[in-house]
Amino acid sequence: MASQKIQGIFTPHLVPLDKSGEINEPELRRYIDWLIAQGAHGLYPNGSTGEFTRFTPQERRRIVRIVCEQAAGRVQVLAGAAEANVRETLDACAAYAEFGARAVAIVSPYYYQLSPESVYAYFREIAIHSPIDVTLYNIPMFASPIDVPTIRRLVEFPRIVGIKDSSGDLAFMMRMIAAVRPVRPDFCFLTGWEAVLVPALMVGADGGTHATAGVVPEITRKMFDLTRAGQLDEAMRLQFRLLELFDAMLYSADFPDGFRAAVELRGFDLGVSRQPLSESQQTDRAALKKVLQRILTGLGC
C-alpha cells in the first residue's frame, strides 16, 4: 500500500476528552469507527482541527497509536508529526511508521515566520532522514508559507509524496500542479479548504483533508464521488450547502470550536476544550448549536 498515491478525503478529526481533560479513548475509538463507516477515505490525527498544539508530545503519540490501531488497515492514516525540532519530528516519524501510518503530514514551521530558504532547509533535513513518506502541510494563516519554488525544490526528494494546502487559493493549487506534476506524476495534492473542494478536484487535486469531514463525512465523500463521476451539477449543489455549514462553524467561534459543537450534534461527547471559553463564548456557542442543527437537518444529517 505504501507506494500507492494518496487520494480521497482524509479527516483531521478532533480528539474527545473526558471529564478530567484527558484523552477519552473509548469515545475516540467510537468516533473513528463512525468516520470510517460514513465513508472517510482516511484519517488525519494531529492536524489543526485535532488541536495538535494543545497536546503534549506523549499525547500526540498516543493519539496516533489509537487511531492506527482502530483503523486497523480499513483506511489509511496520515499522521501529523510536527514536533519541536527536526530530531523530535524524526522520532515521531519513526514511531508513526511503526504504528502503521501511511505517511506523516508535517506543517511548515510556525511561531517564527521563516523565509522560503529556511522552510526548504527544514523539510530537506526531514526528507533525507524520515523512515516514512512525508506530506507537506501549507497553512499560511497559521504557519510559515511554503511557496511554489520551494515546493518545486522539495519534490526532488522521493520521501516527499504530497502536499496539503489550506490556503484556499485555487490559483495556487493550479500553480503547484503545473510546477510539480510534469516531474512527479505520483505527487499528491490535497486541498485543506473545503469551501472549494469540488473546484479543487475539478482543477486536478487528488483529494482533501477537511475539518468538515469530521462533521459530515458522508457529504464530503459524496462530493468527492460525484465529482470523480463527472456529476458536477449535483456536486456543486452539495458544495454550496457545505459552504453554509463551513462558514457557520468557522466564523462563529474561534477555530476549531465551531466544529467541536457540530461533532457533538452528530452524537459524540467531545468534552470541554483545553482552550478555555469565556462566559459570553459559552452563550454564543449555545446559539451556534441551534444554527448548526438547522443546517445539519437540511443536509439530511
Under the binding rule (CB under 8 A), the answer on residue 56 touching its own copies is yes
Residue 84's contacts (CB-CB under 8 Å, 6 or more residues apart) are 57
* CB closer to its own copies, 109 vs 145: 109
Q: Confirm or reject binding of residue 228 to its own copies (CB under 8 A).
A: no
- Point out which residues pair with 8 in neighbouring strands: 207
Q: Does 231 bind its own copies (CB under 8 A)?
A: no
Distance CA 157, CA 127 (A): 6
299 part of the interface to its own copies, by CB under 8 A: no
* Site residues (CB under 8 A) for its own copies, limited to 238-277: 239-240, 243-244, 247, 254-255, 274-277
Please give the C-alpha separations between residue 265 and each of 70, 88, 173, 289, in angstroms, as whole numbers: 23, 37, 33, 8
The CA-atom distances, in angstroms, between 250 and each of 147, 227, 254 are: 25, 24, 7
Q: Which of 25, 30, 147, 281 binds its own copies (CB under 8 A)?
A: 281
Helix residue ranges, H only, the chain: 25-37, 57-71, 86-99, 116-129, 148-154, 170-180, 197-203, 217-228, 232-251, 257-265, 279-298
How many Cβ atoms sit within 10 Å of the Cβ of residue 161? 23
87: contact with its own copies by CB under 8 A: yes
Task: Report if residue 48 touches its own copies, rule: CB under 8 A.
Answer: yes
Give how many residues touch its own copies by CB under 8 A.
61
Interface positions, 98-117, toward its own copies (CB under 8 A)? 109-115, 117
| Binding to its own copies in span 187-206, by CB under 8 A | 193, 195-196, 198-199, 202-204
CA 285/CA 84 separation, integer angstroms:
33
CA count, 13 A, side-chain hemisphere, 199: 15
Q: How far is the CB of 156 from its own copies (least distance, A)?
A: 14
By C-beta, is 36 or 216 nearer to its own copies?
Answer: 216
| Window 3-22: residues binding its own copies (CB under 8 A) | 21
Go through 199-211 and write b for each residue having 16 or more CB atoms within 10 A of its CB, e for each that does not: bbbeeebbbbbbb
Q: State in angstroms the smallest separation of the CB of 54 from its own copies.
A: 5
List residues binding its own copies (CB under 8 A). Answer: 21, 48, 53-57, 84-88, 109-115, 117-118, 120-122, 124-125, 141-143, 168-171, 174-175, 177-178, 193, 195-196, 198-199, 202-204, 232, 236, 239-240, 243-244, 247, 254-255, 274-278, 280-281
